[in-house]
Copies of this chain bind each other. A is one copy, B any other.
Amino acid sequence: MKKEYRSHCPINFSQEIFGDKWSLLIIRDIMFKGKRYYGEFLNSEEKISTNILADRLEKLEDNKIIIKVSDVNNLSKFIYTLTDKGIDLLPLLLEMIVWGAKHDKQTKAPPEFINRFISDKESLILEIKKNLHFD
């Protein structure tokens, strides 16, 4: 696990944890697409390779963003879910969706989602959070 930070500026802290091209996509898949299994992450649109996926899952787990538990229905696989610390990233991800959707002319973000967030931020956050607690 990472122990030394270049600084304790909260932006730097955040970037040292998930400031790469893949980590937030995994979090996105759990948060918005309900994915929980290794194979589901592998099949995401951006085609992450298996070594990178394993590495990022481990780093996210080390940083207590996700938690990995055995699937009681199939002991040879694991379920990856967000911790509370991971769920706390929701507002940040939503702002990223709004920014990306606004500035990418080819965005795939559904306008009704963006509009709902803009007009009714807090209730949307609460609604999504409800679905993130599996325990």
**Chain A residues within CB distance 8 Å of chain B:** 5-16, 19-22, 24-25, 28, 45-47, 85, 88-89, 91-93, 95-104, 106-109
Which residue of A9, A19, A21, A28 has the most chain B CB atoms within 10 A of its CB atom? A9
A19 (CB) vs chain B CBs: closest residue: B21
CB pair B45 A7 closer than 8 Å: yes
CB pair B106 A46 closer than 8 Å: no
Q: Given A14-B96, A92-B92, A103-B88 in contact, is the A108-B7 Cβ separation under 8 Å?
A: yes
CB pair A24 B11 closer than 8 Å: yes
Q: Given A21-B16, A28-B11, A46-B12 in contact, is the A99-B88 Cβ separation under 8 Å?
A: yes
